[in-house]
Structure 1
Amino acid sequence: MLDLIYLGLILTIFNDKYISMETHILSLDRYTLIQLRDIVEQRQRLELSPEVASRIEAGAEFVQRRARQDEYIYGVNTGFGSLCETRVKPEQVEALQYNHIVSHACGVGEPVSERCSRLVLLIKLLTFRSGHTGVSLQTVQRLIDYWNHGVIPAIPKKGTVGASGDLAPLAHMSLPLLGLGQVYMDGKVVPARAAMDRYDWTPLHLKAKEGLALTNGVQYINAIASECLLDMGEMLAAADLIAALSIQAFSGSQTFYHARYHETSHHMERRRVAARLRSLLQGSNHHQLSTCNQSKQDPYSFRCIPQVHGAVLQVYDNALRIIEDEINGVSDNPLFFPEEDLILFGGNLHGESTAMQMDFLCVAASELSNISERRTYQLLSGQRGLPSFLIREPGINSGMMVPQYTSAALVNQSKALCFPASADTIPTCQLQEDHVSMGGTSGYKLQEILDNTRIVLSIELMTAAQAAELNQELTLSGVTEDLLKQFRTVVAHLGDDRVMSDDIDASTRFVSDHLRLWFETHGAV
């Protein structure tokens, strides 16, 4: 699964914007994160399959029919939350749905990225496919019109507790349907009214249940988790590649990634990491150098790469499966089953699964940076024939001494962010919603940790590249030799002290952008 992360993008430049010539038909099929990523990044147009459109229509008609009966149907003819037994008159149904969205639009902070907002909208459309939410085809089609015209709701970052749905973020996602709120358009955040005027759209009049269908569910935290998993998948491959360069620069042994050694382990992820190291290190003489440890006892940050990177990969793979289950499910309440004349009430609006997985990913990503920083430290320590701080004239030059301090600071922050937000709950809505997931906080922490991890890996790459060039006996493997050549086009060898933050920034951009293209050429090994 990880290797699929590096599929190339097929983009056509038109009117100075990336616009896909491809149309994607939203079906009832199971979607992977790779498919979501491609739809988002290729800006594919969206259409509903006839089967999906039929299901949505049937669900909406069922809701409207049952709404006319004398029964309590939560969110259709009642108030919300602890107001669930307060009946609403038939003539107030439209006002109920309108008021629900505007009153719940309580998000704060800067808007999330357009990429993240697109994922939120796309995952919300996946929830609507089944017809179980009761949303109308008109409302779904308007959301698709927004997508196809490059009009994407702008969602403030903070304000969800990750249960009762992501109420505040999804309310902001829904405001443009009413002619309110803000949207991304032409690369800028503008009032939704500007988009409506451009495309001659009028505000929608929401029918029974539609406001609740729009705001209920955890599509916002699922989008954050999806975006983080896509980024982390690339980071995992980059970590193995950078570690391979460090192994060679440090004159590491070859026994710790030997296939026969890992046949004794029942952890398949360890075997996968070891196999990637064997591929990445093929052709190198690092294990034959006079500077090698004669007993082949390298520090754990080298010798235990398969065990640590493998453990991170285990958490990643498990989270990938669970989040893909989430995005393909129906996250709403109540749910409608027209074929059985059935309405069921429950808790599919609770984000505990997503919150827990993001908390686990926080620990995993933090550990990936933790072991990376330790390899950086070892490379600077004046061992294995390398000069102290990897500079030819130490003393007058500090060399690469202080970038490791930056790594240490970021690793420390990441460790502090590893406390699981999902272990906490603060009751809301007069104790009707007395246990919530706090998945929003889990997601914000994970985003910060991944940003830190990317920089820590970038500093290791800077350090490993410098050390490899100073290891005079070393012959690099073909793969890492090419990596080093590419890296040197953006970060020069350090001969004398210079402003190191510039190098760190350039190295981080290389890991973020260059490596993705590099993997397209070399494969994800």
Structure 2
Amino acid sequence: MGHLRIDGEHLTIKDVVDVARNGLLVELSQEAVSKIKKSREYVDSLVEKEAVVYGITTGFGKFSDTYISKEDTKALQRNLIVSHACSMGNPLPEETVRGVMLLRANALAKGFSGIRLETVNTLLEMLNKGVHPIIPEKGSLGASGDLAPLANMVLVMLGEGEAIYKGERMPGREAMLKADINTVELTSKEGLALINGTPVMAAIGALTVYDSLNIIKTADIIASMTLEALKGITDAFDERVHKARGQKGQMITADNVLKITEGSNLTSRQGELRVQDAYTLRCIPQIHGASRDAIYYARDIIAIELNAATDNPLIFSEDDMVISGGNFHGQPLALAMDFLGIAVSELANVSERRIERLVNPQLNDLPAFLTKRGGLNSGFMITQYSAASMVSENKVLAHPASVDSIPSSANQEDHVSMGTTAARKARLILDNVEKVLAIEAFAASQAISFREGAVLGKGTRRAYEEIRKHVPPVENDRIMYVDMDKLDKMVKSGAFVKAVEETLGELE
């Protein structure tokens, strides 16, 4: 495996996934090295002449008017880290921590932060050797960035805190020693450069967006299976209908469904069996399409943030300027992540209603609860309960975090974004959505097994075959969660998308 060369300008969501999940190694570009060195030289000159500059020769937040002598700069930076390491709760997943480390290093590579090159290299060495700091998930207000969780990350760089190394949780100093990485002693501006920014919410956001792009395609595939299982009407997906409205996501979804179901003898035309279907079938393009557009919006916001300078102050050495601003404020991500959470929750909302149409004999011509001997067998009755439970939970989780703000630092920081909370919620919502879609796939495949002489569409056939590799039809009641868990893993891994795209080519 090669190296990813970062320069603060060209990082992509796919790069984040490759580093976070696949262990891709990371190094600085030569241009980034030059920019970091130049910025650091300028900071050293400011300290030497005892200029009054926020975060370099002053305290932080409400203490910004307190001057710090150059003799105390190292103590100032260490105190910043230990005092700000106030996160609590369960540790963030290791893949998220890897994403956080990558994004912080990439922001520093832009050359606006005034950090020493060796400090950035220590962070990258930890990433490449698998020293993953324990970062508790709760404690960020999303402005001044992700201060508390990032401070927990930096503790390990100092030989403090805790880390996971080779699957084992241990003191930070021990992890650094075992990985043969030297700890650092921070000096002027470095602590602030490391913890003032948005990499936690951005890392969670990048991974969630990536998985959401998989889930919107997966939702189209699984909905297409249900459409066939219920002999749905394909006229509602006619290109002319969707061009007449013009919404991009809607047109993509309709096109996907027609491609996936092409060749099926289960789908019907309007007037053959009924004039029109219920909304959960007929309006798949409108519902999935709106979520698709929202996911694309979140993707675009995250793509920008991956290459953003988000600490404060920013060093513009060529202009002999240090400017205090607010790029650490997570509002762009907070709104995008709230929107993403709402958008993907709708995919589960409509999926659960399709599950109900599959299991309820009053709504279809299939055996009640998809079992041949109902009464003796409960069949798929409780799978719908489980889906309904997760959909209801998502309704609670989808409440936007960004509408709240609690002032901090004695009202110096009097509006905060709650962007990290928004990102964490979106992640939780997505997990529920994946599980609900897994249940729909389970029920749809069971319903299809009752359709004698069925010829499935080009795409649905591949999805159905993929399911049957792992989950046979349910003849008599069995332990259902085992199959549901298998399907959840298939949804998460992108197995449905991969199988269908092998036959149809790439779906949008």
TM-score range relative to shorter protein? over 0.9
Q: What does the per-residue CA deviation read over 1:378-435, in whole Å, with 9 as the maximum and x for residues that have no partner?
A: 1112244211111112122221111101111110110111111110011111111111
> 2:324 aligned with 1:340, yes or no?
no
> 2:431 aligned with 1:451, yes or no?
yes
Match of 1:515 in 2: 496
Per-residue deviation, 1:206? 1.2
Could you list the runs of 4 or more consecutive aligned residues of structure 1 that deviate by over 6 angstroms after TM superposition? Answer: none
Q: What does the per-residue CA deviation read over 1:83-134, in whole Å, with 9 as the maximum and x for residues that have no partner?
A: 0001112110000001101111111112111110010011111111111011
Distance 1:292 1:371 in 2: 25
3-state DSSP of counterpart to 2:65: coil
Distance 1:524 1:400 in 2: 32
1:263 aligned to which of 234, 238, 243: 243
Q: What amino acid sits opposite 2:293 in the alignment?
A: Q
Q: What amino acid sits opposite 1:90 in the alignment?
A: K
> 2:397 aligned with 1:417, yes or no?
yes
8 Å CA contact 2:7–2:110 kept in 1: the answer is no
Alignment gaps of 5+ in structure 1:
1-20
Q: Structure 1's 30 and 23: CA in aligned 2 closer, same or farther, altered over 3 A?
A: closer
Q: Which moved more, 1:62-71 or 1:240-249?
A: 62-71
8 Å CA contact 2:259–2:458 kept in 1: the answer is no
Distance 2:179 2:375 in 1: 66
Q: Which moved more, 1:186-195 or 1:363-372?
A: 186-195
Match of 1:304 in 2: 283
3-state DSSP of counterpart to 1:336: strand
> 2:318 aligned with 1:314, yes or no?
no
Per-residue deviation, 1:28? 4.5
Per-residue deviation, 1:494? 1.1
> 2:70 aligned with 1:90, yes or no?
yes
3-state DSSP of counterpart to 1:217: coil
Match of 2:377 in 1: 397
8 Å CA contact 1:388–1:394 kept in 2: the answer is yes
Distance 1:354 1:288 in 2: 43
Give matches, 1:44-83, under 5 Å. Answer: 44-83=24-63
Match of 2:158 in 1: 178
Match of 1:30 in 2: 10
Distance 2:436 2:429 in 1: 10
Identity in percent: 38
3-state DSSP of counterpart to 1:244: helix
8 Å CA contact 1:291–1:384 kept in 2: the answer is no
8 Å CA contact 2:102–2:124 kept in 1: the answer is no
Match of 1:474 in 2: 454
Distance 1:187 1:291 in 2: 60
Relative to the length of structure 2, the TM-score reads: 0.96
Alignment gaps of 5+ in structure 2:
none
Distance 1:457 1:239 in 2: 7
Give matches, 1:82-231, under 5 Å. Answer: 82-231=62-211
Q: Structure 1's 354 and 28: CA in aligned 2 closer, same or farther, altered over 3 A?
A: closer
Match of 2:230 in 1: 250
Q: What does the per-residue CA deviation read over 1:233-267, in whole Å, with 9 as the maximum and x for residues that have no partner?
A: 11111101101100000000111111122221211
8 Å CA contact 2:142–2:419 kept in 1: the answer is yes
Q: What amino acid sits opposite 2:290 in the alignment?
A: A
Distance 2:186 2:50 in 1: 21
Match of 1:4 in 2: none
Per-residue deviation, 1:291? 11
Q: Which moved more, 1:435-444 or 1:155-164?
A: 435-444
8 Å CA contact 1:455–1:508 kept in 2: the answer is yes
> 2:473 aligned with 1:505, yes or no?
no
Q: Which moved more, 1:434-443 or 1:383-392?
A: 383-392
Give matches, 1:5-16, under 5 Å. Answer: none
Q: Structure 1's 356 and 215: CA in aligned 2 closer, same or farther, altered over 3 A?
A: same
Distance 1:360 1:246 in 2: 27
2:476 aligned to which of 482, 496, 518: 496
Q: Which moved more, 1:488-497 or 1:195-204?
A: 195-204
8 Å CA contact 1:181–1:192 kept in 2: the answer is yes
Q: In angstroms, what is the RMSD of aligned CA positions? A: 1.7
Per-residue deviation, 1:37? 1.4
3-state DSSP of counterpart to 1:47: strand
Distance 2:136 2:227 in 1: 43
8 Å CA contact 1:76–1:209 kept in 2: the answer is yes
8 Å CA contact 2:36–2:114 kept in 1: the answer is yes
Q: Structure 1's 114 and 517: CA in aligned 2 closer, same or farther, altered over 3 A?
A: farther
3-state DSSP of counterpart to 2:5: strand
Q: Which moved more, 1:116-125 or 1:196-205?
A: 196-205
3-state DSSP of counterpart to 1:394: coil
3-state DSSP of counterpart to 2:245: coil
Distance 2:39 2:189 in 1: 11
8 Å CA contact 1:291–1:385 kept in 2: the answer is no
Relative to the length of structure 1, the TM-score reads: 0.93
Match of 1:379 in 2: 358
